[in-house]
Structure 1
């Protein structure tokens, strides 16, 4: 067994199983609010694991270091369903499935490790991680530190009480009260909407901020706020798992131009290009969109993907 030490815990090679101190672990999703409220604490856990690729050697060029070791190290939140979740001791969800598909195409293994939020971008900048998954919003501020492989549009949806008794209309949010996670992209979107309300002389959009999405959802359930914003996959997952909330179909206008994806080191252009080329091949084969469609984010998929919002030449 080989290991490397990260700020989020020890990375262990465990032949497809996620381990803590040598033991297999399992984290069932649990109830709606409790499970989602654990997001912040779960991010700093020391779960880790390896997923072997069954793919043959790829013709796509990889950085020498990656090709030599035959693995890619992926930093992630391990409890962010439906994107990531530990099931039966293995990291599952939309993004692990997508990463494994890319790894198969490139002919390398995947090693997942959990990091606290504050350690994530530094781990890529310092090359302790090859990439981060989490469908991060590709913003100009973040591009000053890191590069992106953009995978989908960030078209936010509103989560409201079942039956929408408060008659929330995403196209007319002014005068409402919304709950969001502090520091999230959703918080930034709400600020944009609030600015528009003020500019148009309409009633103010009020926002309450909380430490995690679960608490934001609970604020809607308890009537403290009338809605909360979330990306389509997580919004649908939350509505499906619980009985109290539903997701409105109409997208939120201010979030329509944003894209999101995986984070790489700014100067790690070789690995970003290899990932994008592998994704292009998966798109041609129909495998990529199949995963996206099955996950409920097919309409948001960015096909073809881009490199920090720019098209990739020579694919």
Structure 2
């Protein structure tokens, strides 16, 4: 039986422009539904079928037996792996296992799967390393990557001006957020005016939250009612609140909202926004700044793009529209140039 999370109101009135915020459910070690989530959900478990046929033609395999797309070693990319990282023969990758089809737990409720894990597998293969996937919470990956516990993060992380001060990036996917609502709704979300007075669920500390807070400031500057932001402790609670009408909208990573639109009968996508709003961003593999691993990952990704395995992975999870023509390495030194030159601050998660 579903239990409605406890409700308490949190009033934040320091800066006048901040929105009214309602907190639902105690936030635990994992964050509320995301990305630039992705954090905080469990996957299809508890007796769910091992495959799901979606209306977009994709058959999602959610079993532990993934039969992933595998590739051979790329000697040139493998030669770039720093000796200290490659000496144990493993690539230790962090992911948050928070949202289908990005990164989530399989039907055994313990095996991390999804497009993020599949792409990490391609990179590990190309670098001649064994993939070691470690599930962590969204708030923990930065510190654990800085401490050396994780060598790379594949978890819908967006490139931004704050992060390039601490990390290097290898881009691999476009980054968008989607608004979802009940299928019976008539919402068409294009900007701040369209969310005035609505109740919107969002992940804490995510780029979604950053966008909504900025939009609320715009609304308050116009004398309009801000949206009420609601935070839930799990993906299941978030979607239950949306489907039952306790919230009007949910803002989450576009791959996740389109997955639900294509596999459920009660929800639909009603808006799309770049995760780096008001600018643009990209999703990227994240590594410790200056440790030399990012160029090797970038070359591994480009090798996978060239041989077609990258496209096969995205097709497998229904994400071909987010494919990039090439991977690029982004650091503090070159941030703001090239295809991601419009990238701004904020989180994709």
Q: Please give the TM-score of this superposition, normalised by the length of structure 2.
A: 0.67
Q: Is the 2:171–2:298 contact (alpha carbons within 8 Å) kept by the matching residues of 1?
A: no
Aligned to 2:14: none
TM-superposed deviation, 1:77:
2.1
Match for 2:76 among 44, 59, 69? 59
Aligned to 2:209: 187
Q: Is the 1:305–1:311 contact (alpha carbons within 8 Å) kept by the matching residues of 2?
A: no
Aligned to 2:61: none
Aligned to 1:265: 288
Aligned to 2:123: 102
Q: Is the 1:181–1:213 contact (alpha carbons within 8 Å) kept by the matching residues of 2?
A: no
Q: Structure 1 unaligned segments of length 5 or more: list them.
A: 1-7, 9-26, 33-50
Aligned to 2:245: 223
Question: 1:263 aligns to what SS in structure 2?
Answer: strand
Aligned to 1:275: 297
Aligned to 2:60: none
Aligned to 2:174: 153
Q: Is the 1:219–1:225 contact (alpha carbons within 8 Å) kept by the matching residues of 2?
A: yes
CA distance in 1, matches of 2:209, 2:217: 12
Aligned to 1:127: 148
**Structure with greater helix share of residues:** 1
Aligned to 2:163: 142
Question: 1:117 aligns to what SS in structure 2?
Answer: coil
Question: Is residue 29 from structure 1 mapped to residue 45 from structure 2 by the alignment?
Answer: yes
Aligned to 2:135: 114
TM-superposed deviation, 1:218:
2.4
Aligned to 1:246: 268
CA distance in 2, matches of 1:285, 1:76: 25
Off by >6 Å, runs of 4+ in structure 1: none
Q: Structure 2 unaligned segments of length 5 or more: list them.
A: 1-28, 30-42, 49-67, 340-349
CA distance in 2, matches of 1:228, 1:305: 30
* Equivalent residue pairs, number: 265
Question: 2:327 aligns to what SS in structure 1?
Answer: strand
- RMSD across aligned C-alpha pairs, in angstroms? 2.9
**Structure with greater strand share of residues:** 1
Q: Which has the higher contact order (CA 8 A, sep 6+)?
A: 2
Q: Please give the TM-score of this superposition, normalised by the length of structure 1.
A: 0.74
Question: 1:75 aligns to what SS in structure 2?
Answer: strand
Q: Is the 1:55–1:108 contact (alpha carbons within 8 Å) kept by the matching residues of 2?
A: no
Q: Is the 1:182–1:211 contact (alpha carbons within 8 Å) kept by the matching residues of 2?
A: no
Question: 2:212 aligns to what SS in structure 1?
Answer: helix
Q: Is the 2:202–2:229 contact (alpha carbons within 8 Å) kept by the matching residues of 1?
A: yes
The worse-fitting range, judged by mean Cα deviation, of 195-204 and 152-161 is 195-204
Q: Is the 2:158–2:281 contact (alpha carbons within 8 Å) kept by the matching residues of 1?
A: yes
CA distance in 1, matches of 2:181, 2:233: 19
CA distance in 2, matches of 1:102, 1:77: 18
Match for 2:188 among 169, 189, 203? 169
Question: 1:159 aligns to what SS in structure 2?
Answer: strand
Aligned to 1:78: 97
